[in-house]
Amino acid sequence: MINAKLPKMFYGGDYNPDQWPKEIWQEDMRLFQLAGIDMATVGVFSWALSQPDEATYNFDWLDEVLDLLADNRVYACLATSTAAVPAWMAKRYPDVLRVDFEGHKRKFGGRHNFCPNSPTYQHYSKLMARKLAERYHDHPALAVWHVNNEYGGHCYCENCEKQFRVWLKKRYGSLDQVNQVWNTSFWGHTFYDWDEIVLPNRLSEHMNGDRTNFQGITLDYYRFMSDSLLSCYQGEYDEIKAITPHIMITTNLMGTFKPLDYFKWAKQMDIVSWDNYPRFDTPMSMIAMRHDLMRGLKDGMPFMLMEQTPSQQNWQPYNSLKRPGVMRLWSYQAVARGADTVMFFQLRRSVGACEKYHGAVIEHVGHENTRVFRECAELGRELTLLGDTLLDSKIQSKIAILFDWDNWWAVEMSSGPSIDLKYVDQVHRYYEAFYAQNIQVDLIGVDTPLAGYDIVIAPVLYMLKPGYAAKVKTFVERGGSFVTTFFSGIVNENDLVTLGGYPGELRELLGIWAEEIDALFPDMNNQIVMNETYGELKGAYNCGLLCDLIHSEGAEVLATYGSDFYQGMPVLTRNRFGKGDAWYVASSPDKQFMQDLVRELCGQKGIQPVVQGPEGVEATTRTKDGKNYLFLMNHNNSAQKLDLGETSGRNLLDGNRYGGVIQIKAKDVLILEV
Amino acid sequence: MINAKLPKMFYGGDYNPDQWPKEIWQEDMRLFQLAGIDMATVGVFSWALSQPDEATYNFDWLDEVLDLLADNRVYACLATSTAAVPAWMAKRYPDVLRVDFEGHKRKFGGRHNFCPNSPTYQHYSKLMARKLAERYHDHPALAVWHVNNEYGGHCYCENCEKQFRVWLKKRYGSLDQVNQVWNTSFWGHTFYDWDEIVLPNRLSEHMNGDRTNFQGITLDYYRFMSDSLLSCYQGEYDEIKAITPHIMITTNLMGTFKPLDYFKWAKQMDIVSWDNYPRFDTPMSMIAMRHDLMRGLKDGMPFMLMEQTPSQQNWQPYNSLKRPGVMRLWSYQAVARGADTVMFFQLRRSVGACEKYHGAVIEHVGHENTRVFRECAELGRELTLLGDTLLDSKIQSKIAILFDWDNWWAVEMSSGPSIDLKYVDQVHRYYEAFYAQNIQVDLIGVDTPLAGYDIVIAPVLYMLKPGYAAKVKTFVERGGSFVTTFFSGIVNENDLVTLGGYPGELRELLGIWAEEIDALFPDMNNQIVMNETYGELKGAYNCGLLCDLIHSEGAEVLATYGSDFYQGMPVLTRNRFGKGDAWYVASSPDKQFMQDLVRELCGQKGIQPVVQGPEGVEATTRTKDGKNYLFLMNHNNSAQKLDLGETSGRNLLDGNRYGGVIQIKAKDVLILEV
Amino acid sequence: MINAKLPKMFYGGDYNPDQWPKEIWQEDMRLFQLAGIDMATVGVFSWALSQPDEATYNFDWLDEVLDLLADNRVYACLATSTAAVPAWMAKRYPDVLRVDFEGHKRKFGGRHNFCPNSPTYQHYSKLMARKLAERYHDHPALAVWHVNNEYGGHCYCENCEKQFRVWLKKRYGSLDQVNQVWNTSFWGHTFYDWDEIVLPNRLSEHMNGDRTNFQGITLDYYRFMSDSLLSCYQGEYDEIKAITPHIMITTNLMGTFKPLDYFKWAKQMDIVSWDNYPRFDTPMSMIAMRHDLMRGLKDGMPFMLMEQTPSQQNWQPYNSLKRPGVMRLWSYQAVARGADTVMFFQLRRSVGACEKYHGAVIEHVGHENTRVFRECAELGRELTLLGDTLLDSKIQSKIAILFDWDNWWAVEMSSGPSIDLKYVDQVHRYYEAFYAQNIQVDLIGVDTPLAGYDIVIAPVLYMLKPGYAAKVKTFVERGGSFVTTFFSGIVNENDLVTLGGYPGELRELLGIWAEEIDALFPDMNNQIVMNETYGELKGAYNCGLLCDLIHSEGAEVLATYGSDFYQGMPVLTRNRFGKGDAWYVASSPDKQFMQDLVRELCGQKGIQPVVQGPEGVEATTRTKDGKNYLFLMNHNNSAQKLDLGETSGRNLLDGNRYGGVIQIKAKDVLILEV
């Protein structure tokens, strides 16, 4: 349980009384009560207020806020305020400012604006964390610690450059080793002195964005930068932990956020929390996948939904309103997939600067008589009703999809074979097929044990880290089904090709050799032609993007290409290996193939959907103390009928029993205890 | 009258004899006579020639040019030459060079290349103005002063940064006040020392272009930069004015040019002048609107058409030729809307550098036997014929459309709700409806008195400056009709939201409350469904972009939304207030609605079109000494019939009388004295 | 002959044993033998390896490589390794690093990363060339010298700025002359001191890319930069030549590569070599044109095909595989157009960094059992079979198309009249019409003598260099046919307009005057309406882009515009001049017109196609010792029939005789000795 003081889902969000006169605070408390709000994230951007210069700390305002919250039975998710450095610090200690990708030293401005390797920043951010912990360790309002905010970004300053060399020394020991893993003999890049190494940006190895001359250098730089920020987090964490060992510490993550290796981060977090901000064109299945990924970061442990907008965002091109019911529906979707809190950015809309058109529970009009407030208050009422029923419940799955940040970085910085190859999209293509059938899936990292799963899918497993091939082999030998795709097994953890034939270390397991890789233009496709009907798989499907030209070396050829000069070569293979099997999908198939493949794989393992419903009705199950909680969520704009079969149960939200053929209203949610 | 020495419309343009050997000068004079040219703008880019170093001034060449002009009865629009600093100055005094938006210190090159806060630039530019005034105050050719050229652009250098702090101190008095109006408690941006304030660019608060974290900072920076350039202008103006108090001083503006607040500038100009360079896809109504805006800058006083191309431009992607007759037609359009001069860039085409493919009266071939020269000469003949008939005549309108630079800046730097919201486009949508019906409109600023108008339209009046709401209320109370739109009344002059419900200070006047603002995707729309026919307004119309979700608080609901979850909520309201009424258009309507709305508003006030003609026949009236001059301009490629009704008069251009049903040739112009 | 040691076409490519452990080297040798490879380009990027610091040189590895090659009868194309500076040099001597277009000093990274005006670079690169020549001048493997690699790029550092002033002083003598040719009186840019001149980039005269305020400055900068890099080449060349006077020296060019004036470069090269990397959408005719251009650089002398990919590239957006047969087909296309070597990048695929997904003869799998290797080995077998038959044979043409780098630069930096005017495209439009009819054409430079040609075509001859108009006149007077187009004869070599009427110095020859130039929008066109059928030209054609409005001054008007206000004005003229004629095509015509024009021109001169075949069957003839070698290449995906008429001969590739109506398989090649 996140915090035993309040045995229910925390409900609330970011709250910035420091941006408001005190006369507003009392009104806020009244409105929080009305809305059932019991958690406020405070102090996220208050560094300049709490510390006006090197020597002065001023926490009076925060004392007052926390006391007020406590008086009103609102708990604090207390932020350490280190995500934006004060202007005075930027002025006096320019080392806190970043240098950007183009090599420009930044000036004061924005947020997430600190260099993670700045000694000044490290010193004062840790000090701030300590001072807060010392002051509030026993405060009755304190429920959770919120370190910094949405860590991210890169810095290319001299301090980072120097620390990069230290990081490399630690990782590789010798410069010879660095030269080797980066393959610096290419283009005569051999380094004879550590100081010759520079950071990879537009002034050195990069053309633009991810396009680099040396993938190995950039890969290590990305790791180093993720680690640098993590070490800032860790610094604050350690200060706090020493003082309040029993309070959970988190920092808010951002789903499929590329710059940080969240699996590595999650190890250092007591609980995962994240901010759910889909773009205007994000499919529901992608939001679901992000929830599952966040849950997977700590092996299925529930997470905090730290931020979402109650109504609209401000930084999209077109900031449409969440339609009536959608905020509630999406809140429950988070819960259905592992969230144990429902929180917003933000509780009161700001009066100025760039987020003033971001939705809030309390809008600019300032009172409770708005559609948005009413919807928030209704959800608050329901969450109170739910109490601790769902807290700490788990989601169980026999299927895992691998997600790996290093692989993501490597795939997308590859020069060739196709600029259209996007890692998250490929993972999502597989995820979506399960999602559409309401089959529960875990998103796992390379360190996650495979033993509990029946099926492991690793789309575009381009980079094989040391030992991972062996881990997969063991999994298959013992009876598991493993599925991977084109452009897999190509490189090691330094983006050096595994010589001797693709897919490298997976060749034996998969029983194939990929001789060549063809890239298709966006308007071209090929076909997956089944040799004969194979369970759910039949006839022909379209495929595209990349086509591996593979030869079977023992694998059963289930389908071959339908056209081009490699017509007749295998495109779908299955290799029996020990008690299990290993599948290879040599191109990027259409949705129908995905659906059929998923059906076939699950069929073989006897894995059932949670519920088979009409399109757009999402279902998951959370389990606790032997009880199952079936979530049914209708994303459609119209009511849908649904056959629950023999399943029935009481809906926690209205107390009624549901079973057999039921109807679920547009945008509505049921949580059946079954 | 611009200059009493020549009681006719000045005709001519930019003339750069300093770029040509003297043997050409005499030939120029011959060709000027042939073309009826009597004004030459000289010295625009001659600083390096007139001042080869700090101590040396060389005006011999200019003496000669001015004498030659005087001998040939050509008047000088004498430029101060300060729009491009000499190379020697850039080399020796780098403070004259700008720092760009990305933070790069520029090197010598281009034009408009000076930092407005450079002490060196300020010193030498004023000195140049003084020296010119001292030398030529009595020269017979001198007719008008032309300070600098097309002021514009931003600078982000250290001098500007320091001056920005001074400007802020003057405007706000204290740092506390700065912190408050910029809402720096957001993201912990509190400043404790003036020197902590930095300029808002890509290195500090900006993402790209207008996208900023702190609208308040950027807004003040834009004001400061407009003021900084204005103070350069003012410096030169004062030097000249002291010596030649009776000669008009101007600088050439550029229509809807975003960086400078021209209403503020116009106050410091004796006469407005501007350069008319439509893009290849600019509609005629937009050109017309810019003329009206330029006329509005000084409350209807005639302006100078300082530049236009006689044939083609060079900096468009596709520089098509002005078709035969178009140069004449567009010249008269300027006159029809308030111009008292017709001038070109340029009189002779340059032989090298980036403007050599820009059209000129005298083309590279060098003689008079070209289509372009013949058209110019014919127009010259006509202008001579017109004499002083039209000089100082005025345009009368009962309708005003508000245009405000601060509002423009604020609307387009807003983060949310839609990137497609463009201020000039929205103003133009209303303007266009009047233009299409030949109803005369004034473009006015926030300082313009409203008393003389029947209708005031303020599209997207997002920012309400102090006192403006009261001014509008008084206008309506006394019987005026006021129209405003979605996204109005939201912020004060610092882009801080007026709390308590949109549209803020206009809420009482409009009798509505806007609870939410929905942003539509580009391919979506909603409908304006009239409750019943209301005069010209009937049935249903399309609308889109933004939809305010409003509630009537007393206003009459004329139309409601036709779809989406806010179907049935008001979209068009009218609130009686005192003797007048206030309209609210809660979304961005289609053209048909605009036409009908304009017809309805004018009908209620008894305002008539100048002439009702076929599409593409533009009509305006200038008035002087009790006489009306009706301009009829056919922009179509074919002749058009037109019923003048009882109106008739002599066409100043051919001496014939026209009345009843007349025919007007393709691209032709009539100016009837009626 | 490139090198008499091996009287056959060298076959091989880039080989980087320095990137591989020695155990691989022996395997490489085995595979080279299998593939018939007899040339390896070695040492291209080995500077850091061969010279680990200022004082140390280490050639042991290269000794070993060259000995190994010699032992295996593989010749070396020995590179000087100066295309990428070592990291230690970048660290200790920052003057070797470039400053980019935006003004950023670069850090170590990439390749082609040296400032050509760096004293350090110049010193050490020449020293490296000398040391290599001293060490290997008698090595049995040494066949050709390969200086640097793919020279290119620009630098804007202070050293370059200073050298630019020196270069200008040498070219123009005085600052007055510089001011004049750059027309600096425009925008008051007059320079009073050499040090006031700065390089033209984004910080000075450029907006973006080619868009500049002063074409004259940028033109000279482009010349200077091409010369600066050439002088680096020349420095190495001289060192080597002094020691091995009989070994050919080359550097690999890149076809229509804009930054370097290859006609000037070729004069300093013993033999031209180039790298053929078409983009995925490059038409075959463009590849053919580039081969012809490379052959034209040294007046028809055979060239080396230095690089091409055996299978796929890595830096395209979509790197599709070369389909079976295509590598062979394109190799022979190069030979058919003048190549005397067939070489690849590269022989073994690299294991890491950005080119690891670029195709190679030996793929990552490492053995010979791949499609790609088999195709390479088969081609190797054929080339061995061909022996020296084709070596030094020539291609004969009566038609020349002018190609001029200065003109290219000037046309595309012009501000107006149309951004869509691209020089290479316009040249290609004419070339393509000949290509489609299998009529042999030479691409020539302005220094190439015209006497041997019947037809000279100079598309968009915008810039006329001193004496060129006279040269063309002499050509026509003596009976030649000259064709030029719109936007010709406009400027001199400094981009200053030739006053007095377009097309300037060509006006008399062409018998026309171009009064105006209209630019059409992309979706617009006009028509070329033939006055009457004129040989192959009949009816009407479409045209667009630009339309010169011309008047005949003696030329016969063959066609007039079909629409717009210049309908009826001439669009195609022919002027008899001496014994020849001069044609003017006043707009950019459609393909049909091009085909008919080419047919008409050739018909008049009795020039015949090599072979008339179906579309996609390319034919050329190489000639040697009185024998003709007819190349027939089928680019289609299906077999084609072809009537050789009376031509017949033995196919060098299969020994069979072919004549009359023959069939040629998809992607197949015949080389008939006829």
Q: How far apart are CA C118 and CA C96, in angstroms?
A: 5
CA C256, CA C262: separation in Å to the nearest integer?
A: 9
Q: Is residue B192 part of a domain?
A: no
Return d(Cα A619, Cα A631) in angstroms, integer. Answer: 5
Cross-chain CB nearest to A500 (options C18, C313, C365): C365
Read off the tokens for A121. 């920043």
Give contacts of A520 with chain C, Cβ < 8 Å. Answer: 318, 320
Residue C516 among the catalytic residues: no
**Segment holding A67, helix H or strand E:** helix A60-71
- Give the Cα separation of B76 and B86 in Å (integer): 23
**What angle in degrees, to the nearest 10, is found between the helix axes of C215-243 and C405-413?**
150
Check pLDDT > 90 for residue B525.
yes
Chain C positions touching A416 (Cβ under 8 A) are 312-316, 319, 357-358
CATH code (residue B639): 2.60.40.1180
Has residue A260 got a pLDDT over 90?
yes
Determine which helix (DSSP H) or strand (DSSP E) holds C343, and give its type and residue range: strand C339-344
* Residue A280 reports pLDDT greater than 90: no
A119 at B interface, C-beta within 8 A: no
pLDDT value of position C186: 97
> Looking at the structure, do residues C439 and C475 belong to the same domain, yes or no?
yes
Q: Does some domain include residue C16?
A: yes
3-state secondary structure of C100: coil
Rounded CA separation A530/A528 (Å): 6
Positions of chain C with pLDDT lower than 70, given as ranges: none
Q: DSSP class of residue C104?
A: P
CA dist C255 and C72 (Å) reads 32
Q: Tell me if B222 is assigned to some domain.
A: no
Instruction: Tell me whether residues C109 and A198 touch, CB distance under 8 A.
Output: yes
| Residue A208, pLDDT score | 81
What does the alpha-carbon distance between residue A402 and residue A383 come to, in Å, rounded to a whole number?
Answer: 33
Residues C544, C403 share a domain: yes
Phi, psi of B545 (to 5 degrees): 70, -80
CB-based contact A314 B417, cutoff 8 Å: yes
Span B124-140, pLDDT tens digits: 999 999 999 999 999 99
B188 contacts A48? CB cut-off 8 A: yes
Average pLDDT over residues B44-57: 98
Window 537-596 of B, Cβ < 8 Å to C: none
Cβ of residue B280 closer than 8 Å to a chain A Cβ: no
Indicate the residue type of C186. F
| CA distances in angstroms from A468 to A219, A406, A668, listed in the order given | 19, 13, 43
Whether residue B374 is found in the same domain as residue B403: no
Q: Phi and psi of C186, rounded to 5°? A: -65, 135
A365 lies within 8 A of chain C by CB: no
The CATH number given to whatever domain includes residue B428 is 3.40.50.880
Inter-chain contacts counted by CB atoms under 8 A, chains A and C: 170
Q: Are A623 and A631 in contact (CB under 8 A)?
A: no
Q: Confirm whether B203 is domain-assigned.
A: no
B188 lies within 8 A of chain A by CB: yes
Tell me which residue has tokens 């010279």.
Answer: C51
Structure tokens at B483: 């129209």
User: Tokens 């062409």, residue?
Assistant: C510
Q: Quick check: A527 contacting C, CB < 8 Å?
A: no
Chain B residue numbers with beta carbons less than 8 Å from the beta carbon of C192 are 48, 52-53, 87-88
CATH number at residue A336: 3.20.20.80
What is the C-alpha to C-alpha distance for residues B113 and B49, in angstroms, rounded to an integer? 17
Assigned token pair, A567:
């017509």
pLDDT digits (tens, 9 = 90+) for B284-310: 999 999 999 999 999 999 999 999 999
Of the candidates B570, B605, B640, which is a domain's last residue? B605
Whether pTM > 0.95 for this model: the answer is yes
What ipTM is given for this predicted complex? 0.96
CB-based contact B99:B155 (threshold 8 Å)? yes
Decide if C120 contacts C93 (C-beta within 8 A): yes
In this structure, the answer to whether residues C268 and C368 fall within a common structural domain is yes
Instruction: Give me chain A's average pLDDT, please.
Output: 97
Q: Give the type of residue at B109.
A: G
Closest partner CB to A204 (pick from C107, C313, C357): C107
Across the interface, whether the CB atoms of A190 and C86 are under 8 A apart is answered: yes
User: Please, is C657 exposed, middle or buried when counting C-beta atoms within 10 Å of its C-beta (0-12, 13-18, 19+)?
Assistant: exposed
Phi and psi at C114, nearest 5°, equal -105, 145
**Subunits close to B (at least 3 CB pairs below 8 A):** A, C
Contact C521 B352 (CB under 8 A): no
- Whose structure tokens read 């009481």? A650
List of chain C residues whose C-beta atoms are within 8 Å of the C-beta of residue B363: 515-516
- Mean pLDDT (whole number) for A368-392: 98
Do A503 and A380 share a structural domain?
A: no
pLDDT surpassing 90 at residue A210 = no
Cis peptide preceding A614, ω within 30 of 0: no
> pLDDT tens digit string along A93-126?
999 999 999 999 999 999 999 999 999 999 999 9
Residue range of the domain that includes A658: 617-673
Query: Do residues A150 and A126 share a domain?
Result: yes
Q: What is residue A106's DSSP assignment? A: P
Question: Residue-wise over A207-222: b if at least 16 C-beta within 10 A, else e?
Answer: eeebbbbbbbbbbbbb
Beta bridge partners, A670, equal A632
Q: Is C150 a residue of the active site?
A: yes
Pair C500, C447 in one domain: yes
Residue B178 lies in a domain: no
3-class state of residue A143 by DSSP: strand
Q: Assign residue B368 a region (left: φ > 0; alpha: ψ between -120 and 50; beta: otherwise).
A: alpha
| C578-632 pLDDT per residue, tens | 999 999 999 999 999 999 999 999 999 999 999 988 999 999 999 999 999 999 9
Of A218, A183, A190, A177, the closest CA to residue A499 belongs to: A183
Stretch A437-465: mean pLDDT: 98
Contact status of B98 with chain C (Cβ, < 8 Å): no
Q: Are strands A399-402 and A442-444 parallel, antiparallel or unpaired?
A: parallel
A631 and A663, same domain (yes or no): yes
Whether A542 is in a domain gets the answer yes
Kindly determine whether residue B497 and residue A109, on different chains, have CB atoms separated by under 8 Å. Answer: no
Q: Which residue has the tokens 């071209």?
A: A524
User: What's the structural domain count of chain B?
Assistant: 3
- Domain presence at residue A547: yes
Residue-by-residue DSSP string for A15-51: E-GGGS-HHHHHHHHHHHHHHT--EEEE-TT-HHHH-
Residues C366, C456: one domain? Answer: no
Consecutive H or E run containing B179: helix B175-181
Q: What is the mean pLDDT of chain B?
A: 97
Q: Name the domain boundary from B359, B386, B413.
A: B386
Position B376 in a domain: yes
Q: Is A434 helix (H, G, I), strand (E, B) or coil?
A: helix
**Touching check for B666 and chain C: CB below 8 Å?**
no
The answer to whether residues C542 and C461 belong to one domain is yes
Neighbours of chain C (3+ CB pairs under 8 A): A, B
Of B566, B585, B605, which closes a domain?
Answer: B605
Q: Return d(Cα B282, Cα B279) in angstroms, integer.
A: 5
Give the per-residue pLDDT at A17.
98
- The angle subtended at Cα B152 by Cα B202 and Cα B400, nearest 5°, is 110
Contact B91 C203 (CB under 8 A): no
Q: Is A109 within 8 Å of B205 when comparing Cβ atoms?
A: yes
> pLDDT digits over B185-236, tens only?
999 999 999 999 999 999 999 998 889 999 999 999 999 999 999 999 999 9
CB atoms within 10 A of CB B239: 21
In DSSP notation, A361-406 reads SB-TT-SS-SHHHHHHHHHHHHHHHHTTSSTT-B---SEEEE--HH
Catalytic-role residue among B205, B239, B307, B382: B307
Contact A213 C353 (CB under 8 A): yes
Q: Quick one: residue C569, left, alpha or beta (phi over 0 = left, psi -120 to 50 = alpha)?
A: beta
pLDDT at residue A1 is higher than 90: no
Are the C-beta atoms of B418 and B391 separated by less than 8 Å? no
* Residue A593, CA distances (Å) to A350, A529, A590, A612 in order: 48, 11, 6, 19
pLDDT at B1: 83
A589, A546 Cβ separation under 8 angstroms: no
Interface of C with B in 379-418 (CB under 8 A): 414-418
Alpha helices in C387-533 (DSSP H): 405-413, 423-436, 468-477, 507-510
Closest Cα to residue A526, out of A555, A554, A486, A556?
A486
Whether residue C612 lies within 8 A of chain A, CB to CB, comes out as no
Same domain, A91 and A51: yes
Q: Is pLDDT of B267 > 90?
A: yes
Residues B265 and B298 occupy one common structural domain: yes
If DSSP codes are grouped into helix, strand and coil, which group holds residue C596? helix
**What distance in Å separates residue B352's CA from the closest CA in chain C?**
5
Of A47, A84, A320, the CB nearest to B520: A320
Q: How far apart are CA B17 and CA C336, in angstroms?
A: 58
Across the interface, whether the CB atoms of C416 and B46 are under 8 A apart is answered no
Contact C192 B109 (CB under 8 A): no
Q: What is the pLDDT of residues A580-606, one digit of tens each?
A: 999 999 999 999 999 999 999 999 999
C540-552 and C556-561 strand pairing: unpaired
